[in-house]
Structure 1
Amino acid sequence: MEYNRFALIGLNVWKRLFARKPAMLGQDWRTMLFGICMFHAIIQERKKFGPLGWNITYEFNNSDRECAMLNLQMFCEDGHIPWDALEYITSQITYGGRVTDMWDQRCLTTILKLFFSPPILEDDYKYSLSGTYYCPRADKLEDFREYIETLPVIEDPEVFGMHDNANIAFENKETSTLIKTIVDVQPRASGGGGGDTPDQIVWRICDQTRASISTKIDSTLVNPDLMVPDDMGQLHSLTTVLLHETDRFNTLLALIHSSLNELQKAIKGVVVMSEAFEEVFNSFLNNKVPALWHKKGYNSLKSLGSWIHDLILRIDFMEKWLMDGIQPSSWVSGLFFPQGLLTGSLQAFARRYRVPIDALLFDFDPIPMFLSQEDIYKQNKRKKEDEPDVYQNLVAPEDGVNIHGLFIDAGRWDMKQNCLVDALPGQMNPPLPVVRFYPVLELPKPDPRYQAPLYKTSERAGTLSTTGHSTNFVLPVLLPTNMPSDFWIIRGTALLTQITD
């Protein structure tokens, strides 16, 4: 871990600062120096956990640590410790100057409190619950070095404030990288051994995909009630969202079917195999979604087979909404632009109650029931009138919207307590129950709930689109919990609209 390099590098800075320690601070001075070094080691090593550690990978380096130490010396020269100034400069400037994601900044500031705040000066303070990690009460530099050498070679996730499942996420990431590397360097099979040739495999995938995916969503089947304008002559905001989403899906479906036809022509030799269709061909062989489809599609990290099945579920959800109107609960994960559904809900509320939309916020009410879009899809296909309703008498609210299909990253939902609790071992992305999103003018203060960022995919990081929205982040969701928010922040707990597979 980074603290082993700190034993060789960080202590070189200590040698100078030990000799120039501010008057009257004594052990407090050494504790603060050690805290900065531990903080630096922790934020460096969190990178290995991928998005659970940081949404974006940052290149913190030794100059950041040395700058933080020199700032500490400068501010404490008179023997007084100005904690507010030190914490702000360290988290917002020295290290925070590299951080570009607001949720990473929140995490950085919270981690700093564990290693560099007034409580660390208490005699029995420990950096983690195990008690393995702490600042030794020692006067000599060599004593600190000896303590560092006793620390575990393979660190436990708890020193990072993370669940044991974080190691599983790390190992999965490493395995995926290894497999991808092997696949990339593996020569293409020719089919000479009696198996199917690459051309035959891709041809079959084209046929299967074409047979399973609709050519379009027929917007002429829209429920007439959805097209009734209000008193101001405007369609309901959610109807507008529905029509826009339908257009996006039809654009994607048209591209999929045209590219399948062109690819099969290229395989037959009727047309030239262009570079774009060569990429589609290779993607099919590697069970990946072609870049051509991704460009017109939605954020997803799924493999080709899972992506196609997910698209089938999305089409079914859209057709049901189109023909029957808004469902008791909306599958926000099935939309190109989830923010559109939420903004449409706010706009409908603003029109109804004559309030400015920019004055509205969402509050959240978890409903103790789980809904699976897979189950809803299967029931829609069976069309049995005597079958119990999968929605279990849930009704769409007059104000706001019920949402299902979200997943929890680094946590789980306790149905008895109806709140967020720590994850079970090996349980990576359990579902979140149905949540009612309803507009309010203000939220309660102080609010003990955890502000969980909602992302479209587990990649978390995104870029700003032309609309000014992140391509991955949706909005923060407030979740009730019995644990302090800092616990979840350091855990890296977030919500996802979809999981990888």
Structure 2
Amino acid sequence: MKRLYNMISDTQFSICKCKHKYKKLLYSLCFFHAILIERKKFQQLGWNVVYSFNDSDFEVSENLLSIYLDEYRDTPWDALKYLIAGICYGGHVTDDWDRRLLTTYINRLSALPTYFIPTDTEIENYREFINTLPAIDHPNAFGQHPNADTTSLMIDTRILCETLMSLQVTSSDASGESKEVKVMALADDVLNKVPEPINYELTERHIGPRKTPLDVVLLQEISRYNVLLIKMEKSLVDLKKGIQGFIVMSSELEEIFTCIYDGRVPSMWLKAYPSLKTLGSWTYDLVLRVQHFSKWATKLKPPLLFWLSAFTFPTGFLTAVLQVVNISTFNNRIH
């Protein structure tokens, strides 16, 4: 808001004929713009889609505000709100729920007593009033739960740590080992630990044509893990070739190189299932997951205990369990 008021000149602030309305509505418009911009810090909790609201939206809205106040004796509030929220800012919005949120913001300033429209005064007084506002905005100012602020701070902390790690000197470590040598050793270690893909065709042939819902889930999980294992092996082999100079290092290989050196899991490996583990823990966990489904595929009999978090799509597994129970109940009633 401070930046927006610094953009407005004294002449622009006093050019509107209906000064009393203009000053209050301009403050509301600045607050509205600031809310939309700052809400991005909550990531998916803020907007379902990231939108590029910018100063041009504010400038056009401010011009509309000034024109409508000058041209009409009775201010057409509905038309003005529609043009600002529905056209100027709403032109960026593609999600229906985000559009609904935008409409809510244009109809209500804030529920907190800290944020209110100051009395009719000069532009310098408005700037001074904005300086008295809290430096850290409470989540309620955005209509958010306090937990949303915790999530935002965690994301900011992770970005800060990743940035600091990327800025560290990486020519060699304390033992004099170069970065490339260390990554090569880690890549070999991961390659040696990663198990072979489960034989999907053999498992499907042993199951036969009459598949139970749990058999379908097993085959789906095997397929997803096989894709991950093959992708990991190929990317690690290509990474080693890239380090040795046999192939060109692509952007994906550069990311894998950096992640392995930092002990993080590359993003392309996390498409099968999300995880916050470090690379070593994640690799060990992956081996256990594959072993779980490999034993199931070998015995062709569901285990007595299911490792729910090992499923890449646990909802499908729970649905299959319900189907098995329903089929069993139906058969018992028939007999």
TM-score w.r.t. length of structure 1: 0.49
Within the candidate set 321, 326, 333, 1:396 is matched to 321
Residues 98-141 of structure 1: CA distance to partner in whole angstroms, max 9, x if unpaired? Answer: 234555434433333322xxxxxxxxxxx233x11111243665
Q: Aligned partner of 2:59: which letter?
A: E
Q: Aligned partner of 1:315: which letter?
A: V
Residues 163-184 of structure 1: CA distance to partner in whole angstroms, max 9, x if unpaired? Answer: 4555554444444444434443
- Does residue 250 of structure 1 match 2:226? yes
Task: Look up the match of 1:160.
Answer: 142
- Does residue 213 of structure 1 match 2:208? no
- Does residue 37 of structure 1 match 2:30? yes
For 2:303 and 2:107, the matched residues in 1 are separated by: 46
Within the candidate set 138, 147, 152, 2:129 is matched to 147
Shift in Å at residue 217 of structure 1? 2.3
For 1:310 and 1:102, the matched residues in 2 are separated by: 39
Residues 152-204 of structure 1: CA distance to partner in whole angstroms, max 9, x if unpaired? Answer: 3443343233345555544444444444344434443545x546654664455
**Secondary structure of the structure 2 residue equivalent to 1:79:** coil
For 2:159 and 2:210, the matched residues in 1 are separated by: 52
Task: Look up the match of 1:288.
Answer: 264
Task: Look up the match of 2:74.
Answer: 79
Residues 47-96 of structure 1: CA distance to partner in whole angstroms, max 9, x if unpaired? Answer: 3444443455433233322333444456662415443x444433232101
Q: List runs of 5+ in structure 1 lacking aligned partners.
A: 116-126, 230-234, 346-394, 402-501
Task: Look up the match of 2:14.
Answer: 15
- Does residue 65 of structure 1 match 2:58? yes
Q: How does 1:63-462 map to 2 (within 5 A)?
A: 63-72=56-65, 77-83=72-78, 85-115=79-109, 127-129=110-112, 131-138=113-120, 144-190=126-172, 193-194=174-175, 198=179, 201-202=182-183, 204-206=185-187, 208-219=189-200, 220-221=202-203, 227-228=209-210, 242-257=218-233, 260=236, 272=246, 275=249, 279=254, 280-290=256-266, 294=268, 297-298=271-272, 300=274, 302=276, 303-305=278-280, 307-309=282-284, 311-312=286-287, 314-315=289-290, 318-319=293-294, 323-324=300-301, 334-335=311-312, 341=316, 396-398=321-323
Alignment RMSD: 4.7
Choose between structure 1 and 2: higher helix proportion.
Answer: 2
For 1:66 and 1:273, the matched residues in 2 are separated by: 50
For 1:223 and 1:330, the matched residues in 2 are separated by: 24
TM-score w.r.t. length of structure 2: 0.68
Check whether the contact 1:266–1:272 (CA below 8 A) recurs between aligned residues: yes
Shift in Å at residue 40 of structure 1? 0.8
Task: Look up the match of 2:331.
Answer: none
Larger of the two Rg values belongs to structure = 2
Q: List runs of 5+ in structure 2 lacking aligned partners.
A: 327-335
Q: Aligned partner of 2:283: which letter?
A: I
For 1:185 and 1:95, the matched residues in 2 are separated by: 37
Check whether the contact 1:72–1:86 (CA below 8 A) recurs between aligned residues: yes
Shift in Å at residue 39 of structure 1? 0.6
Cα distance change on mapping 1:241 and 1:14 into 2, 3 Å: farther
Shift in Å at residue 327 of structure 1? 9.8
For 1:10 and 1:150, the matched residues in 2 are separated by: 19
Check whether the contact 1:241–1:340 (CA below 8 A) recurs between aligned residues: no
For 2:59 and 2:237, the matched residues in 1 are separated by: 60
Count of residues in Structure 1 that have an aligned counterpart in Structure 2: 317
For 1:318 and 1:86, the matched residues in 2 are separated by: 60
Q: Aligned partner of 1:5: which letter?
A: R
For 1:328 and 1:258, the matched residues in 2 are separated by: 33
